[in-house]
Amino acid sequence: MEFHLFAALMFFGFIATEGVVEYFLGQLFEYFNVEPKLNNLILTYASAAAGVLFAWHYALDIPHVWLGLEPSLVGIVTTGMVMGRGANAVHQVAQLIADWMGARF
Q: What's the pTM?
A: 0.69
| pLDDT for residue 94 | 65
pLDDT of residue 105 exceeding 60, the answer is no
Q: What is the mean pLDDT of residues 25-45?
A: 87
Structural contact between residues 83 and 51, judged by C-beta atoms closer than 8 angstroms: yes
For a pLDDT cut of 90, what percent of the chain falls above it?
A: 10
Could you give the C-alpha distances from 93 to 8, 47, 70, 88, 98, in angstroms and in order? Answer: 18, 20, 31, 9, 9
Q: What's the chain's average pLDDT?
A: 80
**More confident position, 57 or 14:** 57
Q: What is the mean pLDDT of residues 43-49?
A: 86
pLDDT of residue 104 exceeding 80, the answer is no
Q: How would residue 87 be classed by pLDDT, with cut points 50, 70 and 90?
A: low
CA distance 68 to 64: 5
Contacts of 91 (CB under 8 A, 6+ apart): none
Q: What is the mean pLDDT of residues 49-63?
A: 88
Contacts of 26 (CB under 8 A, 6+ apart): 39, 43
